[in-house]
Amino acid sequence: MSKTQVATCINGDTHEFLCDTHQTLLDVLRHELDLTGSKEGCATGDCGACSVMLDDRLVCACLVLGVEVDGKEIETIEGMSSGSGLHAIQQKFIDLAALQCGICTPGVLVATKALLTKNKNPSEEEVRFWLAGNLCRCTGYDKIVRAVLEVAADMRNA
Amino acid sequence: MEYVTPKSASEASQALSQEGAFALAGGTDLLVKLKTRFVSPSVVVDIKHIPNIMTIKQSAEGWWIGAATPCAEIVEHDSLSKNWPGVVEALSLIGSTQIQGRATLGGNLCNASPAADSIPALIAAGATCVISGQTKEREEPVEKIVTAPGMTTLGKGEFIIGFKLPIPKNRSGDAYLRLIPRSEMDIAVVGAGVSLSLSEDGKIEAIRVALGAIAPTQVLLSGLEDIFIGKEPNDDAIQKLVSLAEKACKPINDKRGTIEYRTKIAGVLAKRAFGIALKRANNY
């Protein structure tokens, strides 16, 4: 079976890869491009551990075919920090210990950044609804929500 | 498994008429079915490159919502949300933020789940869908599409290219309510969509009520005309609406709700959605 050539922009860099039709964007990121920050939890779009931005939309990378992203722009967790400095959201999650095992964290961070780009002053309810598709198997939701609200306030005052 | 990206509707219909061809729009159902090997397509036809299939447009004739437009984009459309708040509420309830980024109205309809949230609201709103086929295009009311769980009236090579909604008249309103056991990320136990319009003196001129998750397909209630048309809504009429909704129920028993519970809730949600639609009509 022939593979499809795909050219895409990931975290500002051009990537070209060959892709089988059945491979998801998550398979491509993790297995072809070695971008293993996006995690595979359920692989059926329920858990959000593979959350990435696809042309500025928050999506589950496990529900996108690799062949679909030709010509698209993708942002993953690997693109969140700048050089050696962590993004304010990442730093806040560390400061407030808003993570336990860490599997859900990349997805939660990507989803949080998407929320705060759209809504700089979300209520707790808005945060909880926005992140409802990011499951934390350690059930550490309270600290996650607090970290999001605090970093939102910090970013507004910055 | 092949992957093709037709640039026109006729090209797509041709590709979809092949044995084992599946249409791909947002992929939120198809990729799960691929993963679980529920389906094994020979060719995946990505319909998102067809003109107008991902656009929202308003003209004198009404609204066009491309069948492959992601729900998140529809929800962000202010004037559509003002015209059809119930429809937009319904589709905003589908899945998580991530799912909203990809899921589409065409997919929600063609997946043909009894519990699909957008379908009762679209039926209540009187939406039609434009179906592209190998030889011709046809337009059908949304209620003519789903025939059974997972089954539709679409023929070989046919797919939905977009939805049409009228521009609501003055004093019109619509609403959609659903009940789920959790506050988010679950499938409807019952869904109820109501759309109505009022005359200048506050009498009901038109009303449509559709229910979801209470039968193998969505149900458009019949018999509402005698109860409501030309009259001011009162408690007696609303009680009759509740009875009609309950009588329309042929639900399943499952972990989300018993037959008795779903039947009772169908009446409750129909009544509440009616109340919201009426309030909106009075303020529109």
A134 and A107 Cβ atoms separated by less than 8 Å? yes
Provide the pLDDT for residue A1. Answer: 60
Q: Are residues B161 and B188 in the same domain?
A: no
**In which residue ranges of chain A is pLDDT below 50?**
none
pLDDT tens figures, B62-102 = 999 999 999 999 999 999 999 999 999 999 999 999 999 99
Residues on chain A touching B24 (C-beta within 8 angstroms): 65, 68
Q: Are residues B107 and B238 in the same domain?
A: no
Q: Measured between alpha carbons, how far is residue A24 from residues A64, A73, B24 in Å?
A: 6, 16, 13
Taking the C-alpha atoms of residue B44 and residue A111, their distance in angstroms, rounded to an integer, is 29
pLDDT tens figures, B267-277 = 999 999 999 99
B244 pLDDT exceeds 80?
Answer: yes
Q: Are residues B216 and B236 in the same domain?
A: yes
Counted residue by residue, chain A has a size of 158
Q: Do B98 and A62 touch (CB under 8 A)?
A: no
Residue at which a domain ends, from B165, B199, B232: B165
Residues on chain B touching A64 (C-beta within 8 angstroms): 27, 31, 102
CB-hemisphere CA count at 13 Å for B44? 24
Extract the tokens encoding A63.
């529900």
Residue B112 — very low, low, confident or very high, per pLDDT cuts 50/70/90? very high
Residue at which a domain ends, from B142, B165, B188: B165
Q: Are residues B96 and B156 in the same domain?
A: yes
pLDDT tens figures, B1-27 = 999 999 999 999 999 999 999 999 999
Q: Are residues B135 and B216 in the same domain?
A: no
Q: Specify the CATH number for the domain of residue B238.
A: 3.30.390.50
Q: Are residues B53 and B108 in the same domain?
A: yes
Provide the pLDDT for residue B117. Answer: 97
Q: Are residues B119 and B235 in the same domain?
A: no
Range of the domain at B90: 2-165
Residue at which a domain ends, from B115, B147, B165: B165
B210 and B141 Cβ atoms separated by less than 8 Å? no
A146 and A98 Cβ atoms separated by less than 8 Å? yes
B180 pLDDT exceeds 90?
Answer: yes
Residue B197, chain A, CB below 8 Å: the answer is: no
Q: Are residues B82 and B7 in the same domain?
A: yes
HEC string of chain A equals CCCEEEEEEECCEEEEEEECCCCEHHHHHHHHCCCCCCCCCCCCCCCCCCEEEECCEEEEHHHCEHHHHCCCEEECHHHCCECCECCHHHHHHHHCCCCCCCCCHHHHHHHHHHHHHHCCCCCHHHHHHHHHHCCCCCCCHHHHHHHHHHHHHHHHHC
Residues on chain A touching B72 (C-beta within 8 angstroms): 57-58
Q: Average pLDDT in the B191-195 region?
A: 98
Provide the pLDDT for residue A158. Answer: 86
Q: Are residues B133 and B241 in the same domain?
A: no
Q: Measured between alpha carbons, how far is residue A115 from residues A41, A80, A128, B98 in Å?
A: 21, 14, 11, 11
B284 pLDDT exceeds 90?
Answer: no
Please name the member of B3, B97, B99 whose beta carbon is closest to the beta carbon of A111: B97
Q: Are residues B52 and B188 in the same domain?
A: no
Taking the C-alpha atoms of residue B29 and residue B222, their distance in angstroms, rounded to an integer, is 31
Domain tally, chain B:
2
Q: Average pLDDT in the B129-144 region?
A: 96
β-strand pairing of A73-75 with A4-10? parallel
Q: Are residues B156 and B237 in the same domain?
A: no
Domains of chain A with CATH codes: 4-79 (3.10.20.30), 88-157 (1.10.150.120)
Q: Are residues B142 and B11 in the same domain?
A: yes
HEC string of chain B equals CEEECCCCHHHHHHHHCCCCEEEECCCCCHHHHHHCCCCCCCEEEEHHHCCCCCCEEEECCEEEEECCCEHHHHHCCHHHHHHCHHHHHHHHCCCCHHHHCCCEHHHHHHHCCCCCCHHHHHHHHCCEEEEECCCCEEEEEHHHCEEECCEECCCCCCEEEEEEECCCCCCEEEEEEEECCCCCCCCCCEEEEEEEEECCCCCEEEEEEEEECCCCCCEECCCHHHHHECCCCCHHHHHHHHHHHHHCCCCCCECCECHHHHHHHHHHHHHHHHHHHHHHHHHC
Residue B69, chain A, CB below 8 Å: the answer is: no
pLDDT tens figures, A26-56 = 999 999 999 999 999 999 999 999 999 999 9
Q: Specify the CATH number for the domain of residue B41.
A: 3.30.465.10
Residues on chain B touching A130 (C-beta within 8 angstroms): 97
Percent of chain B's residues with pLDDT above 90 = 96
Instruction: Give the predicted TM-score (pTM) of the model.
Output: 0.96
Please name the member of A43, A111, A131 whose beta carbon is closest to the beta carbon of B35: A43
Q: B142 exposed, middle or buried (CB, 10 Å; 0-12, 13-18, 19+)?
A: buried
B152 and B112 Cβ atoms separated by less than 8 Å? yes
Q: Which of A117, A66, A128 is nearest to B24 (CA)?
A: A66
